């Protein structure tokens, strides 16, 4: 089976989010972790999502990882490339959404693409170029205090123009409402041969499906996961999809469950508080991590007795914005984050060696660190836990690991416990 849609996501949770939407829309989808290379087996799938950890790298690194992933996807037949970034446009003045989009347009020799972060099912909408999170502007949401990419502006054109050398233009919802032909025509009218990125408003899934349809002939589409929901129909109409089967088989290994939370987002902090009332929990002290104290070893010692009895546990470094600010204490926030991530990755690896084989991880960067530490290479997509978050399973590992990678701001308060409970119906009994 040759790949039809090749996707590149800038973080792990974003990749599973996108993969789940494509599965829901009937594409056989596999997730590949990290930059694929000549030794990476071609997945037997219609859509492949390459999950990078490039959101907070420097722009040149992010470009290099993305372009090499894109070349690999093309070499396996990808007819269209989708660049997935966060529905809250998580990025800095330097990138990486703009530079990576520019580089992909150049590589794919296309003069225009769209940028559409909207994800209405999770409360993200774009109206007249402004990104809303639930009922308020992005810049007034808790994302303004993100530890790595604080979002202090809501105007996507302004944010993207600062990062990109392409022309950036808006397609407002009055045009989007008129449907795919008007959208395609509006895009075509603005083409001058110079690279241009059209920021498309979207308030609901109908808008996103119209936008998807209008992108039928674009070599590159960029956005949050939800705009990808309109793409599979194009492939079906072109006779490229075998059958739009919506369910992929999923089995959970029986064993010990570990919840690891490095996300400091508002939703995650509520989920941590909720889970603390239900299962044993352990706080990973970020100050001690930065001092080089043996935080991972102490946490592993604490968790061992629970792993032995298959009692689920929660280990978290999640903290309020004011605490995070004190911890960062004018140090480089990406370095601080990486050091916390390294400890969480080490804990995952050692607890897996002790027998844990079900992991719920909160946080995109944190998930990247855990997946790398567990040496996961390919993942299949299972059932949805909450919008944007599925259960997944490793494919190649000898003994499968069940993984739920949760974006910081996704999920209900009881997410962690709900995710673990859900697994009981998918257990492999032999
Ligand atoms: N207590 C803490 N102080 C400072 N940084 C932290 C703390 N706990 C976690 N972090 C870092 O914050 C970042 C959270 O990012 P991420 O895992 O992507 O979560 P989210 O999905 O909420 O954005 C990670 O780099 C993580 O290591
Ligand atoms: O698009 C989204 O909101 C998510 O898929 C995503 O990428 C979130 O990133 P994190 O909050 O850093 O997990």
Atom of ligand 1 nearest to the CA of 364: 18
Atom of ligand 1 nearest to the CA of 409: 22
Residue 119, SS3? strand
Which helix (H) or strand (E) element contains residue 393?
strand 389-394
In which residue ranges of the chain is pLDDT below 70? 246-247, 396-398, 429-430
Residue nearest to atom 10 of ligand 1 (CA): 337
pTM: 0.95
Cβ neighbourhood burial of 77 (10 Å; 0-12, 13-18, 19+): middle
Residue nearest to atom 24 of ligand 1 (CA): 337
Ligand 1 proximity of 92 Cβ (cutoff 6 Å):
no
- Please name every residue paired with 257 in a beta bridge, in sequence order, or none if there are none: 358
- pLDDT for the residue numbered 245: 73
Q: How many whole angstroms from 327 Cα to the centroid of ligand 2?
A: 23
CATH of region 256-426: 3.40.980.20
- Supply 55's token pair: 């959101």
Ligand 2 pocket by Cβ (under 6 Å) = 11, 13-14, 17, 86-88, 90, 119, 224-225, 363-364, 388, 407-409
Residue nearest to atom 3 of ligand 2 (CA): 87
Which helix (H) or strand (E) element contains residue 321?
helix 321-328
Residue nearest to atom 14 of ligand 1 (CA): 263
Q: How many whole angstroms from 83 Cα to the centroid of ligand 2?
A: 13
- Supply 135's token pair: 């009922």
Q: How many whole angstroms from 326 Cα to the centroid of ligand 1?
A: 14
Tens digits of per-residue pLDDT, 117-155?
999 999 999 999 999 999 999 999 999 999 999 999 999
Residue 270, SS3? helix
87-103 as b/e: b if 16+ CB within 10 A: bbbbbbeebbbbbbbbb
Q: How many whole angstroms from 38 Cα to the centroid of ligand 1?
A: 33
Residue nearest to atom 13 of ligand 1 (CA): 337
Q: Outline where DSSP puts E strands in 27-148.
A: 29-33, 47-51, 80-84, 112-116, 124-127, 130-133, 136-137
Q: Which fold has domain 5-237?
A: Rossmann fold (3.40.50)
Structural domain boundaries of the chain?
A: 5-237, 256-426
d(CA 4, CA 188): 24
d(CA 206, CA 226): 11
- pLDDT for the residue numbered 94: 87
Tens digits of per-residue pLDDT, 343-391?
999 999 999 999 999 999 999 999 999 999 999 999 999 999 999 999 9
Residue nearest to atom 22 of ligand 1 (CA): 408
- pLDDT for the residue numbered 372: 96
Q: How many whole angstroms from 12 Cα to the centroid of ligand 2?
A: 8
Ligand 1 proximity of 300 Cβ (cutoff 6 Å):
no
Atom of ligand 2 nearest to the CA of 85: 7
- Supply 296's token pair: 């991972």
């Amino acid at each position: 089976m040759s790949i039809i849609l090749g996707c590149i996501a800038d973080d792990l949770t974003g990749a599973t989010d996108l993969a789940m939407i494509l599965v829901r829309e009937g594409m056989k989808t596999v997730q590949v972790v990290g930059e694929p290379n000549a030794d990476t087996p071609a997945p037997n799938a219609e859509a492949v999502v390459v999950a990078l950890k490039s959101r907070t790298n420097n722009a040149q690194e992010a470009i290099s990882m993305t372009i090499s992933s894109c070349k690999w996807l093309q070499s396996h037949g990808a007819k269209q490339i989708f660049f997935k970034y966060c529905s809250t446009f998580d990025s800095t003045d330097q990138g990486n959404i703009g530079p990576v989009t520019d580089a992909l347009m150049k590589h794919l020799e296309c003069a225009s693409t769209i940028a559409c972060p909207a994800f209405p099912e999770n409360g993200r909408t774009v109206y007249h170029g402004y990104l809303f999170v639930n009922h308020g502007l992005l810049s007034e949401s808790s994302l303004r205090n993100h530890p790595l990419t604080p979002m202090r502006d809501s105007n996507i054109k302004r944010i993207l123009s600062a990062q990109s050398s392409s022309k950036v233009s808006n397609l407002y919802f009055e045009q989007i409402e008129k449907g795919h032909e008007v959208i395609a025509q509006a895009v075509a009218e603005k083409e001058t041969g110079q690279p241009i990125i059209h920021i498309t408003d979207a308030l609901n899934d109908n808008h996103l499906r119209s936008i998807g349809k209008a992108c039928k002939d674009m070599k590159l589409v960029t956005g949050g996961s939800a705009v990808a929901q309109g793409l599979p129909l194009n492939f079906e109409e072109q006779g490229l999809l075998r059958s739009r089967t919506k369910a992929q088989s999923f089995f959970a290994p029986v064993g010990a469950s570990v919840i690891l939370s490095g996300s400091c987002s508002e939703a995650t902090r509520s989920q941590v508080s909720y889970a603390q009332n239900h299962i044993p929990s352990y706080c990973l002290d970020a100050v001690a991590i930065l001092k080089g104290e043996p935080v991972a070893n102490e946490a592993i010692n604490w968790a061992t007795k629970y792993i032995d009895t298959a009692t689920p546990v929660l280990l978290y470094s999640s903290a309020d914005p004011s605490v995070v600010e004190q911890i960062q204490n004018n140090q480089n926030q990406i370095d601080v984050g990486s050091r916390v991530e390294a400890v969480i990755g080490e804990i995952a690896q050692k607890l897996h060696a002790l027998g844990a084989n079900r992991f719920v991880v909160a946080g995109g960067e944190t998930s990247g660190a855990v997946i790398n530490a567990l040496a996961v290479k390919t993942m299949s997509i299972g059932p949805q836990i909450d919008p944007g978050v599925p259960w997944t399973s490793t494919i190649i590992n000898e003994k499968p690991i069940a993984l739920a990678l949760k974006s910081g701001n996704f999920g209900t308060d009881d997410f962690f416990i709900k995710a673990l409970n859900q697994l009981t119906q998918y257990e492999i009994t032999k």
